[in-house]
C-alpha cells in the first residue's frame, strides 16, 4: 500500500512541472485598404437639353436642364461610387461659395477629397448644350492654369501605398507626364504594390501622345475621331498607337546617353515608328455607331459590337462612364479585357438614357447579369 501511494505521488509531481504548451502566433494584420484615384478637374456643369440644334443669335427656352458636379475625373469618381467601388478624387478645389455645393456632393457620395489643394480663385465651370436624341453637344469651358493640378501638388498629396489604380485626366500633358513617371518609379521600387496607370486622350498633340504612351491603358475620346476624320474605331486606335510610338522614340532619343562618350546613332522616321517590345499601352475607343475597339500591346485588335440605346437624353459624360466601367470590370470583377469592353459599352449605353449618373445604380455588377437585365 505504501509503494502505491509513493508511485502516484511521483506521477502527479511529474505532470505538475511539465513545460507549458507553446501559444499559437497571432494572425497577421490585414493588408492596408487600397482603392482607386482619379486625378483631374472638377467643374460646375450647367447643362441645358434642347430638342433642336441652336443657331447663332437664336433665343430659345427649354424646361430640361440641371446644374451638377462635372469634369471628366469627377465624373469617373461618380460612376465608380454608383457601381459600389471606393475611390478618391485629386484636383484643385475652390473655396468660393458657388463651389461649396460641389464639395458637399463629394462628401455625400463618400468620395475622398481630403488631399485636394484649395484655392481662392473662381471655380472652373462649363456651359453644355445637349441636343436630345442625338450625339451632338456644345461645350464652353472656363478654366486657366491656376485651377490645374501641378506635379509638386501631386507628389505632396499622394501616398502610393493606398492605391491600386490611378487614372489621369489629360489636362496639362507636361505635368501629367511627370506624374506618370513618378508612379512608374514607385512600381519599380515596390513591384509587390504595383499601381495600374490609365489616362484619357481628346487630341493627338505631341505632348499628349508622349504622356499617354507611358500609361498602361489609354482611353481615346470620340473627339479624336471627329477631329482627325478617322473612318472607324480600328483606324483610330491604330493611328494613336503609331503616333505614341513615334513620340516615345523621339523622347528616348532626346534623353542624355548613359555613356556620354558614345553618341547614339541617328534614327530614321521608319525606325521611329516601329513599336518597342515592352511598355506599350492598351488603347481603347468606344462610340454608339461603331462599338468598342481595343488594340492590345502585341497589336492584337479586339472588337465589341455596338450597344445602341433605346433613347438618348443626356450624352454628357458618356466617355467617362465607359472608362470608369472598364476600370471597374478589370479591377473589381476581374473580367478579361474583351468582357470589360462589352461591360463598358453596355454601361455607357445605359447612361445616355437618363440625365446624370444616378441610373448607373441599376447597372448589373457582372456581365452575366447584363444579358438577363
Lowest mean pLDDT among 123-132, 150-159, 178-187: 123-132
Confidence of residue 16 (pLDDT cuts 50, 70, 90): low
Q: Please check whether residue 243 lies inside any domain of the structure.
A: no
- Please write the tens of the pLDDT for every residue from 30-89: 777 788 999 998 988 888 888 887 777 778 787 777 788 888 999 999 999 999 899 999
Q: How far apart are CA 73 and CA 94, in angstroms?
A: 16
- Please write the tens of the pLDDT for every residue from 103-120: 888 988 999 999 999 888
Q: Please check whether residue 274 lies inside any domain of the structure.
A: no
The residue segments making up the domain with residue 217 are: 32-52+63-234+309-372
pLDDT for position 231: 87
pTM of the model: 0.85
Q: Report the candidate in 341, 197, 221, 219 with the shortest Cα–Cα distance to residue 279.
A: 197
Q: How far apart are CA 326 and CA 349, in angstroms?
A: 13
> Do 339 and 329 contact (CB within 8 A), yes or no?
yes
- Please write the tens of the pLDDT for every residue from 242-295: 999 999 988 888 887 766 565 555 555 554 444 444 578 999 999 877 889 999
Strands 301-304 and 291-295: what pairing? antiparallel
Q: Please check whether residue 24 lies inside any domain of the structure.
A: no
3-class SS of residue 367: helix
Tell me, what DSSP letter sits at residue 361? G
- Burial string for 76-98 (b: 16+ CB within 10 Å, else e) reads bbbbbbbbebebbbbbbbbeeee
Residue 9, pLDDT > 50, answer: no
3-class SS of residue 227: helix
Please give the share of the chain, as a percent, with pLDDT higher than 70: 88
Q: How far apart are CA 212 and CA 199, in angstroms?
A: 7
What average pLDDT is seen over the chain? 84
DSSP H/E element including 214: none
**CATH code, domain with 104:** 3.40.1190.20
Q: Please check whether residue 199 lies inside any domain of the structure.
A: yes
Q: Please check whether residue 216 lies inside any domain of the structure.
A: yes
pLDDT for position 226: 84
Count of the separate structural domains present in the chain: 1
Amino acid at each position: 500500500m505504501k509503494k502505491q501511494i509513493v508511485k502516484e505521488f511521483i506521477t502527479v509531481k511529474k505532470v505538475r512541472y511539465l513545460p507549458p504548451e507553446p501559444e499559437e502566433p497571432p494572425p497577421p494584420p490585414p493588408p492596408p485598404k487600397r482603392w482607386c484615384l482619379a486625378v483631374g478637374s472638377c467643374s460646375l456643369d450647367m447643362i441645358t437639353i434642347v430638342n433642336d440644334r441652336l443657331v447663332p443669335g437664336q433665343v430659345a427656352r427649354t424646361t430640361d436642364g440641371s446644374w451638377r458636379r462635372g469634369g471628366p475625373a469627377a465624373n469617373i469618381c461618380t460612376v465608380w461610387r454608383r457601381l459600389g467601388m471606393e475611390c478618391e478624387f485629386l484636383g484643385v478645389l475652390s473655396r468660393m461659395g458657388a463651389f461649396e455645393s460641389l464639395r458637399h456632393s463629394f462628401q455625400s457620395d463618400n468620395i475622398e477629397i481630403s488631399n485636394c489643394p484649395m484655392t481662392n480663385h473662381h471655380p472652373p465651370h462649363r456651359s453644355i448644350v445637349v441636343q436630345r436624341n442625338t450625339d451632338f453637344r456644345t461645350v464652353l469651358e472656363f478654366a486657366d492654369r491656376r485651377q490645374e493640378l501641378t506635379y509638386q501638388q501631386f507628389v505632396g498629396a499622394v501616398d502610393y501605398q493606398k492605391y491600386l489604380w490611378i487614372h489621369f485626366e489629360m489636362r496639362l500633358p507636361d505635368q501629367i507626364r511627370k506624374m506618370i513617371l513618378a508612379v512608374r518609379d514607385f512600381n519599380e521600387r515596390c513591384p509587390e504594390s504595383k499601381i495600374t496607370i490609365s489616362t484619357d486622350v481628346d487630341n493627338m498633340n505631341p505632348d499628349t501622345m508622349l504622356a499617354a504612351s507611358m500609361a498602361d491603358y489609354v482611353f481615346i475620346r470620340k473627339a479624336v475621331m471627329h477631329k482627325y476624320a478617322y473612318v472607324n474605331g480600328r483606324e483610330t486606335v491604330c493611328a494613336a498607337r503609331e503616333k505614341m510610338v513615334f513620340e516615345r522614340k523621339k523622347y528616348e532619343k532626346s534623353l542624355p546617353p548613359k555613356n556620354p562618350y558614345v553618341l547614339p546613332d541617328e534614327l530614321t522616321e521608319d525606325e521611329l515608328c516601329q513599336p518597342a517590345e515592352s511598355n506599350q499601352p492598351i488603347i481603347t475607343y468606344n462610340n454608339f455607331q461603331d462599338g468598342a475597339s481595343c488594340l492590345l500591346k502585341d497589336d492584337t485588335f479586339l472588337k465589341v459590337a455596338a450597344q445602341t440605346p433605346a433613347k438618348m437624353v443626356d450624352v454628357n459624360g458618356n466617355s467617362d462612364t465607359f472608362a470608369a466601367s472598364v476600370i471597374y470590370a478589370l479591377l473589381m470583377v476581374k473580367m478579361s479585357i474583351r468582357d470589360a469592353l462589352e461591360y463598358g459599352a453596355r454601361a455607357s449605353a445605359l447612361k445616355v438614357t437618363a440625365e446624370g449618373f444616378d441610373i448607373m445604380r441599376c447597372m448589373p455588377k457582372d456581365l452575366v447579369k447584363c444579358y438577363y437585365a
